[in-house]
Chain A
């Protein structure tokens, strides 16, 4: 008897291809988990049972007929509920005023996954409008606060909250999330899974809710770095419907021959990090030294966070201008989302343009660093998952430092979260890895090297009753 729950994609795909596991049975297994366990974590907006079974039956027939499409054929997944889906399946953007919203067709990413034979089983919960209104608490989704499967009293992270929780709890083998600033990395860290933020322009956003046109990215969230690579290869690629996508071809390579990495640690990357996260980070450095060198480095001392925050606030205000002007924000869940968007009128045009010019300097300076380093490393987040009732500060607000987040998102660089232990309250800690633009294979190779030497990614929360 093969148990597909918590099975890495490559292994699961092997069983599907050899017809030891039926795509229909797989879909039924994960649909049942989504329906039974999803509400426990507030992880799910819509279970797409009818579509999933139709896609699974098609996969089963094709594989039986010898038409195997690749490693995602017949594999269930979930999509953050900001990805458009046709066929009458709502796309809520996590926000009460949009809970019944429908689109005529699928987002490009959903279409590409369907073409690869993957089976859409659920639209997953998210922070309302991907957090763009300035939320400061976990209770900022019309479906309720998503909890990490590691503790019912702690937040999943956001804004790809349900994507993180669903993978962590074994409700889906993998999920798609989005990141403007931290929205893949934060839930991956809080939920103890592996999440990849691709290079800006690697994956089409067509059909995805726009929060910030020059910062939004879509990426995979799974159990391992290898899982993320397999999914990225399917969803990456140029799309005429998204003019920011690059024609650079992406081919995932997992050839793990002998390789030494040059790891760099950015000055400021450890500022404000909690003791438990730091302890896990220091243990990870020992692992990194088995496969490479670790050296400190620095970027010029410029206000990277302030510049990227300025861009984010201005673009988010413009993306939702009509909604904000109409007073529609009063229908959102988080009380602060009812008024914070009005403050964005205070972002002046000249400051926005200046911030985009600083961003150009940032991109060049960051690229220069990668002449000396393959991968920048840091603790995944400042802390383990926040308690559910606790307010927090994030990238959208104030003067909080997050040099890796600002540079990673500002320069559009690929980033990876891998779990690296447990900290306060028994919650997952994580390590963050970042590579040069278009070097997803480098950051994934580093992730695989770590996961070949540790077993944190094989630890799963006790989800059964």
Chain B
């Protein structure tokens, strides 16, 4: 499968998921709009996935454990 074919397959799978959830609310034009939006989401996701990070590159802002009596930062 080429890169483009893989991307299209992902778009179709995610489009199927979204229309399974919300398809009854969408007319044909809106479905097409959703498909285009998903194409954009997949394109940006593939760009994000292509970045190589180190194991210690953690999310920011990191989660902080909470205590109501702890003073603010």
Contact = CB atoms under 8 A, between A and B. Distances in A.
Question: What's the dominant secondary structure at chain A's contact region?
Answer: helix
Given A358-B48, A361-B53, A313 B33 contact: no
Interface stretch (A153-161, A334-342, A444-452): A334-342
Interface string B18-35: 100110011000100110
Nearest to B30: A339
Contacts of A348: 45
Q: Which 8 A-B pairs have the closest CB atoms?
A: A343-B37, A306-B44, A356-B59, A303-B47, A360-B60, A346-B14, A339-B30, A306-B47
Nearest to B23: A342
A264 interface: no
A310 interface: yes
Interface residues of A, number: 45
B5 interface: no
Given A238-B73, A346-B38, A309 B18 contact: no
Contacts of A344: 41
Interface of B: 14-15, 17-18, 21-22, 25-26, 30, 33-34, 37-38, 40-45, 47-51, 53, 57-61, 66, 71-73
B48 A351 contact: yes
A146 interface: no
Contacts of A353: 59
18 contacts: A244-B61, A247-B73, A303-B48, A306-B43, A309-B44, A339-B33, A340-B34, A342-B18, A345-B17, A345-B21, A346-B17, A346-B18, A346-B38, A351-B48, A357-B58, A359-B60, A360-B60, A399-B43
A361 B50 CA distance: 14
A240 B72 contact: yes
A363 interface: yes
A313 B42 CA distance: 12
Interface string A348-379: 10010111111111010000000000000000
Given A243-B72, A351-B49, A358-B48, 9 more contacts: A303-B48, A306-B43, A309-B44, A310-B45, A339-B33, A340-B34, A343-B34, A347-B45, A357-B60
Contact of B38 (A134, A343, A358): A343
Contacts of A327: 25
Contacts of B60: 356-357, 359-360, 363
A360 B58 contact: yes
B44 A343 contact: no
Interface string A285-311: 000000000000000001101110110
A400 to B, nearest CB: 10
A358 B25 contact: no
Nearest to A309: B44
Contact of A338 (B21, B30, B37): B30
A379 B3 CA distance: 36
Contact of B40 (A238, A342, A360, A398): A398
A359 B14 CA distance: 25
Residue from the set A244, A306, A348, A353 with the largest chain B CB neighbour count within 10 Å: A306
A245 interface: yes
Contacts of A137: none
A358 B51 contact: yes
Contact of A246 (B14, B26, B73): B73
Nearest to A248: B73
A346 B73 contact: no
A359 B61 CA distance: 9
Residue from the set B30, B33, B48, B73 with the largest chain A CB neighbour count within 10 Å: B48
